[in-house]
A and B are shown apart, each in its own frame.
Chain A
Amino acid sequence: MTAYIVRRVLQIIPTLFMISLIVYGLLALKPGDPIDELRFGNPGFTQADYERLIKLYGLDKPWYVRYWYWLGRAVQGDFGPSRRYGMPAAEYIFRYRLPNTLILSGLSLLVAFMVAVPAGVFSALRQHSVLDYAITFVNFIGVSVPIFWLGIMLIYLFAVWLRVLPAGSVQTPGIVGGWAQFVDRVRHVILPVTALSALQMASWTRFMRSSMLEVLNLDYVRTARAKGLAERTITYRHALRNAILPIITLIGLAIPTVFSGAVLTETVFNWPGMGRAIFDSIIANDFNVAMVALMFISLLILAFNLLADLAYALADPRIRYD
């Protein structure tokens, strides 16, 4: 097992390397450079300044050379400056953007899981009931609705029409400290989390339902029933424990999707998170920010895939990795 973990962790390194190469290459193909922004806003900017800066930033060199320099500094933890925000790109992302994104995506995954498991189990236990059909139908809606449109509709309903929840941002300026601030932040998080969790909630419920149905038809459940165990015990102690296993891997696989959804959700709700930061920095040619954010998310995805595999092995003793 230890050897397996070590091997998997070591495998992450070349994968990250490949990801960085792909993303850097694509970003470098995009025309325009960070100097454009300096140049257009500044009438005193001369051609000599331009050439000096191009040289200073190494932009006169081909992209693979720049990539090499970037890589050399990146492995030492230096991801270069953000020219737009006037601080190291890593600091900007980790200090100002990461916490917001973690709150939004983490809560969404949590809410999706907490709703999907009971809903799926219920749906499976009462197969072909009206509520089962209702849940299945709602699931279809969840996987079909565009996230950003759902967000806009939620804003209209709860912020514009009913006026019970804020339309965006993380908190109301001025409300600081204690219980009031906590309530304020919770109120801000409700709508974006609802929008972002819809897709995962729906697909996990579907998965949970079919997983549960499969397990309930297995022989050992029949044995449990035959020896006279209470239906409750059979359902929760015997069936659910096995049925929930495949969901663990899904959580790992959901992270890229949640993150892609976060770009749109953060835009709609004016939520200062990483998704929005990546979008803005790509548009503004502030590539160091996009690079550090994308690399971090990719690392997160790889780590969660590994964790999911390990959790799966821990939860199911039949699975052995060597």
Chain B
Amino acid sequence: MTEVMKKRRRAGQRIAHGESAWHLTWRRFRNHRLALLGGTVILVLVLGAVLAPWISPYEYSRTNLRRQFNAPTFTVPTDARLLGHCTRPAVLFWKCGMHPFGTDDLGRDILTRVLYGGRVSLLVGFAAGLASTLLGGLLGATVAFAAGKLDAVFSRFVDTMLSIPQFPLLLILTGLLASREVSFAVRLSEILGGAKSIVVIIVVITALSWMGAFRLVRGEVLSLRERAFVEAARAIGASRRRIIFRYLLPNTAHVMIVQATLMVGEAILIESGLSFLGLGIQPPAVSWGNMLSRAQEFLYYPNGIYVALFPGVFIFLTVLCFNFVGDGLRDALDPRFGHRV
């Protein structure tokens, strides 16, 4: 701030200065009520997942065979034998023996499992969403800037990948990496141990979802590279890498941020589908998807519906919120769409 401005401010005068781009974006985003709501809900879900051990009086994997398929209940049973194992007698209003979302086929508390499952599902969503967008964006920017043969080959490859239905490919890849007979997969489980299925899912989803970001960023860069500021950068002798990272990619940020947000939701959906089929997150790890893997069988049991209901509601709610936020970000970041909807 210049001396003049400081002097004026001391004098209580208002200084007219332009808003920063981020401030402007935030102001537009704030006006998008659903996006704001979505963002808040996501924050709450993340907090719930991170703080799970301090919120729930139960352990997520400890079974209680005296209380299978319990309906949601807020009354503590008088018979102490029914309580099962708790890590502490109560957390605030949640006493040991209460099951706000009911219990599953092994008597485990569903809310506790939803909280812990959120850790895995949200982690997979954030990691795969971010990684696939960065990978796709980087590749897209690089080939669009290089142009020529590299661009043609990559674009053709992406077109081909997009004409194969994704889900069977996901099945093949997860099956491959989960196998105990592939030496690479075995090495992987030695290194990662119990977290292996989580890492595998993130890698596989990333490997098959970067094409969206690739196309978007490639399209943007194709028009950006002809612009005067890129030409100027080239004229002052900026290296190719510098042009891509300092000039092109930052200018595609608005596309990438929206894409990454939507991809988080998409990745959570893919994870849930794979885990539902038994190829995703493997027990004892818990995710919203693998909580549903046997849910369909339990529909016919008394109170079996709660096993299916709550994890699905949380997947749905999370993806919905990411879509709201993505929509809000699109409106906020892209001035052309500002007045639509």
Contact of A26 with B169 in the complex, beta carbons under 8 Å: yes
**B179 interfacial contact with A, CB 8 Å:** yes
A294 touches which of B164, B176, B277, B315 (Cβ 8 Å): B164
Given contacts A144-B319, A210-B340, whether A152 and B160 have CB atoms under 8 Å apart is no
CA distance A297 to B305 in the complex (A): 35
A168 to chain B, nearest CB (A): 9
In angstroms, Cα B165 to Cα A15, docked, is 14
Is the CB–CB distance between B163 and A155 below 8 Å? Answer: no
How far does the Cβ of B301 sit from chain A's closest Cβ, in whole Å? 10
* Residues of chain B from 160 to 183 with CB closer than 8 A to chain A in the complex: 160-169, 171-173, 175-176, 179, 181-182
Instruction: Number of A interface residues at 8 Å Cβ cutoff, please give it.
Output: 47
Report whether B173 and A15 are in contact in the complex, using a CB–CB cutoff of 8 Å. Answer: no
Interface check A298, CB cutoff 8 A: yes
**Interface status of B272 (Cβ within 8 A of chain A):** yes
Known: A149-B272, A152-B308. A18 touches B172 (CB 8 A): no
Q: Does B324 contact A (CB under 8 A)?
A: yes
Chain A residues with CB under 8 A of B160: 15, 18-19, 22
In the assembled complex, the Cα of A19 lies from the Cα of B176 at a distance in Å of 18
B300 and A160: CB pair below 8 A?
A: yes
Q: Decide yes or no whether A245 CB sits under 8 A from chain B.
A: no
Q: Give chain A residues whose Cβ lies under 8 Å from the Cβ of B164.
A: 19, 22-23, 256, 294, 298, 301
Report if B323 contacts A (CB, 8 A). Answer: yes
Is A6 interfacial (CB 8 A cutoff)?
Answer: no
Query: What is the CA–CA distance of A27 and B168 in the complex, to the nearest angstrom?
Result: 11
CB-contacts of A132-168 with B (<8 A): 140-141, 143-149, 152-153, 155-156, 160
Query: How many positions in chain B have a CB within 8 Å of any CB in the partner chain?
Result: 43
> By the criterion CB–CB under 8 Å, are A256 and B265 in contact?
no
Determine the chain B residues whose CB is within 8 A of the CB of A144 once the complex forms: 265, 316, 319-320, 323
The interface centre, meaning the residue of B164, B292, B320 with most chain A CB atoms within 10 A of its CB, is: B164
B-contact 0/1 string along A297-317, CB 8 Å cutoff:
110011001000000000000
Bound-state CA distance A166–B89 (Å) is 45
* A35 CB to nearest B CB, Å: 14
Partner of A256, one of B34, B162, B175, B276: B162
Chain A interface residues toward B at CB < 8 A: 15, 18-19, 22-23, 26-27, 29-32, 140-141, 143-149, 152-153, 155-156, 160, 210, 213, 256, 259-261, 263-264, 267-268, 275, 278-279, 282-283, 290, 294, 297-298, 301-302, 305
18 additional contacts (CB under 8 A) given A152-B312, A282-B168, A298-B164: A26-B172, A26-B176, A30-B172, A143-B323, A146-B276, A146-B316, A148-B273, A153-B309, A156-B305, A160-B305, A256-B162, A263-B165, A263-B171, A264-B167, A275-B167, A278-B168, A279-B277, A294-B164
Name B's A-contacting residues (CB within 8 A): 34, 157, 159-169, 171-173, 175-176, 179, 181-182, 265, 269, 272-273, 276-277, 292, 295-296, 299-300, 305, 308-309, 312, 315-316, 319-320, 323-324, 340
10 nearest A-B residue pairs (beta carbon): A31-B181, A260-B167, A149-B312, A144-B320, A144-B319, A259-B165, A301-B163, A256-B165, A263-B167, A26-B172
